[in-house]
Amino acid sequence: MQPLDLNQLIELDRRHLWHPYAPMPNTGPVFPVRSAQGVHIQLETGEQLIDGMASWWTCIHGYNHPRLNQAAHAQIERMSHVMFGGLTHQSAVQLAQKLVQLTPDPLQHVFFCDSGSVAVEVAMKMAIQYWHSRGQPHKQNFLTFRRGYHGDTFAAMSVCDPVTGMHHLFRSSLVDQYFVESPRIPFAGEWQDEAMTAFETLLAEHGDNIAAAIFEPVVQGAGGMWFYHPNYVRRARELCDRYGVLLILDEIATGFGRTGRMFACDYAGICPDILCVGKALTGGFMSLAATLTTAHISQTFAQGEAGVFMHGPTFMANPLACAVALENLDLLASYDWRSRVSAIADQLKSGLEPCRDLPAVKDVRVLGAIGVVELHEPVDMAVVQPQFVAQGVWLRPFGRLVYTMPPYITQPEQVAAIARAIHTVIAQMR
């Protein structure tokens, strides 16, 4: 097919394409992309934008990285896909081995899946089937924090906040779960033991019905970009053990260095029973996620009615995705990413601090390569998005949050440009 000109591209997009969290037809601004290289997105209109979003937190090494491209080319010459039922391949085996090495020691078994939402669905099914295999099929529900976000599929939606979250329209169709208020002690705040009272009370009262607690450790992502005290994670581990409940940690957004540690649970020094990873797993090259668990849990399934885990995605362990993911993790290990993330954090702290004095701003916070400016009122995306493009950066605010999670390769002058753009745009808000 012949390439479309700019007007055709936009017109056909509006006519046929349904964008995420957008109306149909889409009446908001849309920016056609011609190419992407490094930390830059090149628009069809000629503008070059610094990507402050890492394409929803995935492209930790930027775009079009030669090592990831080469890994994809080498794999596609062998095979782009083969079913995983009864077959296996080098890329999946080596990637699983790498993930086991990177994650806390008790996690030994890896279940590959298509996306972060599916990884959460898999984790929840694992927890329910585990208890069924142990003769406790009544343990079907989950305990989680308000203001959490775990994906857009139905089981995942049920453990997102049903009141303040983005899925309240589906509330009557979702399984009722147990919610406690989200952690309010900030990351570097003074710990208070009574912060866990509500969590423990729910476990004490309903533990017989709860299969697992599930939450995002240290960073609540799409539910508010809030950074909370690691002791919540540590104490939750202890309480889950005390009351006979599994612990699922959702590190889809935080995994692979984003917070300054390889995994956010490292700040608490604990290991979950089940861990979900995704997003940055392939460096943004293509969709892949994984759910990891312990030998104890997987071996328990053999004692149950089914004898096997009842799940199997069609494109599970896709060789192309696994090959790129393996190279992405090798690339991450090839340089001092901790220093890179720390440098970005320091620069975001100094660069975003002036926003604190702006009338529209409620709070400014930074953890690792995550910078957040929380506003008093929601942003008007139809107005704000073009303003950021005019400043030469790509950011995608939501609700009352203007935030950045840039690639780790973002240079100091580029981080400074992102911070300046955030200050400039927010300063124009009434």
Which carries the bigger pLDDT value, residue 20 or residue 197?
197
Q: What is the pLDDT of residues 119-128, one digit of tens each?
A: 999 999 999 9
Taking 80 as the threshold, does the pLDDT of residue 11 lie above it? yes
Two domains, one topology: 31-64+336-427 and 68-333:
no
Whole-number Å distance between alpha carbons of 86 and 317: 12
pLDDT at 1: 81
Q: Which whole number is the average pLDDT over 173-192?
A: 94
- Specify the fold of 31-64+336-427: Aspartate Aminotransferase, domain 1 (3.90.1150)
Q: What is the pLDDT of residues 276-333, one digit of tens each?
A: 999 999 999 999 999 999 999 999 988 878 888 989 999 999 999 999 999 999 999 9
pLDDT at 165: 64
Token digits for 361?
Answer: 């701003």
Token digits for 143?
Answer: 């305990």
Taking 80 as the threshold, does the pLDDT of residue 394 lie above it? yes
Phi, psi dihedrals of residue 17, rounded to the nearest 5°? -95, 130
Q: Does domain 68-333 have CATH number 3.40.50.720?
A: no
Q: Which whole number is the average pLDDT over 7-11?
A: 93
* Cα four-point dihedral sign 20, 253, 397, 399: positive
Whole-number Å distance between alpha carbons of 177 and 195: 20
Q: What is the pLDDT of residues 140-181, one digit of tens each?
A: 999 999 999 999 999 999 999 877 666 777 887 888 999 999
Domain positions in the chain are 31-64+336-427, 68-333
Token digits for 280?
Answer: 């940055």
Q: Which residues are catalytic?
A: 21, 149, 250, 279
Any alpha helices (H) in 249-318, and if so which ranges? 295-301
Q: Which whole number is the average pLDDT over 32-49?
A: 97
pLDDT at 226: 96
pLDDT at 172: 77
Contact 420, 391 (CB under 8 A): yes
Distance of alpha carbon 342 from its chain centroid, rounded? 20
Whole-number Å distance between alpha carbons of 158 and 178: 10
The pLDDT confidence band at residue 407, using thresholds 50, 70 and 90, is: very high
